[in-house]
Structure 1
Amino acid sequence: MLATISGYIILGLSIAAPIGPINIEIIKRGLLYGFWAALLVGAGGISSDLVLMALMFFGLSHIMSIVWVKITLTMLGCIILVHSGINNLRMTRLMEDVTAPDQRSGRVKVRSYLSGLTIAASNPMNLLFWLGIYGSVLSGVLQQSNHLHAFLVSSLVFLGIGLWNLNLAFTVHFGRLLMNTRIMKVINIVASFVLIGFGFKFGWIGLQELYDLLL
């Protein structure tokens, strides 16, 4: 029993750990605004995953198999990630006053949450992962047991994701105390270009899908 519980928590950790747009955004927001902003980016991503998991019970996989849906989501992900990366580059100058208290903390928290939500929701790789790997896990659980067991399994997976986000938020928050403004600016710039790179990658995938469809 304990091994099964640990296994699903580890699955959640393995889902969240790879470097991708959400982790980059957590790092960027954490360096700029601190712990809560970083944690709320992760919370936004988890919220999107929860909605996606719920929709999977209502046949979302069939909708995602439609080529035009894949292309639309991929191009939307491209636009959002490139836009987010460019905005991050523009915000680099704000890091001059990174140690000063932010007078718009409420707005920053809301924007951090919405940023995580939109990035996760528009990331086609995230959608394909949940529909593919996690969908297979969930399907197997539903075949072997009831919906309550499937809910508990899903909760353990999301617990693992939440633990990773909490760990990353703490690490970035305390790590920023050991960095000077110049180092933080460099990290923010690199993170911004990584987001833009992911955006172009998704755009290229979308164009390839469109090209194959038109041929």
Structure 2
Amino acid sequence: MTLFTLYGQALIVGLAIAAPVGPIGLLCIDRTLRHGPWAGLATGLGAATADGLYASLGALGLTVLIRQLTALAVPLALAGGGFLLWQGLAMLRAPQGEPAMASARPASGLAAAYGSALGLTLGNPMTILSFVAIFSGLTGQTVSSGNEAMVMVAGIVSGSALWWCVLAFGIGQLLRRAGAGARRLLDLGCGLLLLGMGGWMWWQALRG
């Protein structure tokens, strides 16, 4: 397998991991609507960074270390579920009105958006488990060289980042043009979905 082919396959995997609508996608859309595309992109890049960190471990064959992280799955799921519940309630209680312009979002706010998405993605047990299987699926074995490892990680991060760019600057910007009533309905829908996801994470953690 050539490095170019490996990069292309890893990029597709990165897109596939990021694209399904989940808590980070909902947060990205909400922050794009309220604070502009850069806040949405910062949220997505936090998730892409987490994907890159786990991808690095998987590419280097450190799946044993990744599996050991699953021992922290319960406290991580409780913390992540609590964050989703809090964010969902915040969306439901948010006042109706025009979203702020992107220029009004301070650098500290972008850092907070990035950090919260990074922590939430790192703490998602499904993220941990997914990367245990990804690299064996791409290569059938541990990568044979440092170059292959770097190419695979670069592909994963590129695919993930590409999706977040599309979501923040494409889909999110289209939604920003909707009326205030439509945005309020979107807030309510996203808030309810996040509450459901947070509750599901707590249920899964506590029943195990």
Q: Please state which band the TM-score falls in when normalised by the shorter chain.
A: 0.7 to 0.9
Residue of structure 1 in register with 2:16 after alignment: 14
Unaligned runs of 5+ in 1: 210-215
The CA deviation at 1:197 is 0.8
Q: 1:32 aligns with which of 34, 48, 52?
A: 34
Give distance in 2, aligned partners of 1:185 and 1:19: 19
Give distance in 2, aligned partners of 1:55 and 1:4: 17
Superposed CA deviations along residues 127-180 of structure 1, whole A, max 9, x for unmatched, are 22223x32534773535x212212211211211111111111112342134201
Amino acid at match of 2:110: K
Amino acid at match of 1:202: M
Which stretch shows the higher mean deviation, 21-30 or 119-128? 119-128
Unaligned runs of 5+ in 2: none
Give distance in 2, aligned partners of 1:166 and 1:129: 23
Tell me if the contact between 1:120 and 1:126 (Cα under 8 Å) persists in the aligned partners.
yes
Compute the TM-score of the two structures, normalised by the length of structure 2: 0.85
Q: Is residue 2:82 matched to residue 1:79?
A: yes
Identity of aligned residues (%): 26
Q: Structure 1 residues 135, 87: closer, same or farther in 2, change over 3 A?
A: farther
Tell me if the contact between 2:56 and 2:153 (Cα under 8 Å) persists in the aligned partners.
no
Give distance in 2, aligned partners of 1:137 and 1:189: 39
The CA deviation at 1:108 is 2.6
SS of equivalent to 1:87: helix
Which stretch shows the higher mean deviation, 95-104 or 157-166? 95-104
Tell me if the contact between 1:141 and 1:149 (Cα under 8 Å) persists in the aligned partners.
no
SS of equivalent to 1:71: helix
Give distance in 1, aligned partners of 2:105 and 2:166: 25
Residue of structure 2 in register with 1:64 after alignment: 69
Give distance in 2, aligned partners of 1:48 and 1:157: 11
Superposed CA deviations along residues 99-123 of structure 1, whole A, max 9, x for unmatched, are 5576453233122212211221222
Q: Structure 1 residues 111, 153: closer, same or farther in 2, change over 3 A?
A: same
Q: How many residues align?
A: 203
SS of equivalent to 2:142: helix
